[in-house]
Structure 1
Amino acid sequence: MNWVLLVLAGIVEIAWSQSIKPTENFTRPLPTLLCFALAAAAVYLLSLSMRTLPVGTAYAVFTGIGAVGAIALGIVVHRDPVALVRVAALSLIVGGVVLARVADPG
């Protein structure tokens, strides 16, 4: 169950990362409120997953999911550039997340 919470926390972190830009430097109240709510929800879910998962493993997986999701959405939604080196970096992050999961089945 804690791994499910951790994956959910990572998904919320992806949503949070996408909610930052619409705040326009935190000058728009509603997008800013959504941004803060998503950040709080992501950290709360992360903290719940840490009840049994090691802090280092949980945080590394959390940030890995967030990073891969943010970059993937950037490529798909915002037409960010795709380069072989970028794809290789994403592959390494995904590999690290998978290894962390295998190393600590929790």
Structure 2
Amino acid sequence: MSWMHLFLAGLFEIAFALGLKHTEGFTRPWPTLFTALAAAISFWLLTRALEGIPLGTAYAVWTGIGAIGVALVGMTAFGESASPARLACLAMIVAGVAGLKLLSR
């Protein structure tokens, strides 16, 4: 169950980061509320995941899901560059996170 909590925490981290784009410096109430709620849920799920996953591994996976998810949304929804170099960098993040997971005990 810890890995499910961690995966969901990562999805809420993506929502939190995307929400920041729409808060306009926390001046828009509804996007700000959505962003704060997504952050709180993400942190809560992360703490639940830490009950069964080592801290270093959990944090790397959580931030990896967020970084990769936000980058992919940026490329698909906001027209950000999807150059081979950027995609290769995302692949390196995936490889690093997978390595940490495989080597954790």
Q: TM-score range by the shorter chain?
A: over 0.9
1:18-37 map, 5 Å: 18-37=18-37
**2:88 pairs with 1:98:** no
Structure 2: 5+ residue stretches without partners: none
Distance (Å, rounded) in 2 between the aligned partners of 1:68 and 1:29? 27
Structure 1: 5+ residue stretches without partners: none
**2:14 pairs with 1:11:** no
Deviation at 1:67, TM superposition (A): 0.1
Deviation at 1:98, TM superposition (A): 1.7
What is the letter of the counterpart of residue 7 of structure 1? F
Using the size of structure 2 for normalisation, the TM-score is: 0.94
Partner of 2:65: 65
Structure 1 stretches (4+) deviating beyond 6 angstroms? none
Distance (Å, rounded) in 2 between the aligned partners of 1:43 and 1:60? 14
Distance (Å, rounded) in 2 between the aligned partners of 1:79 and 1:70? 12
Q: How large is the Cα RMSD of the aligned pairs? A: 1.1
Using the size of structure 1 for normalisation, the TM-score is: 0.93
Deviation at 1:81, TM superposition (A): 1.0
Percent identity between matched residues is 42
**2:69 pairs with 1:77:** no
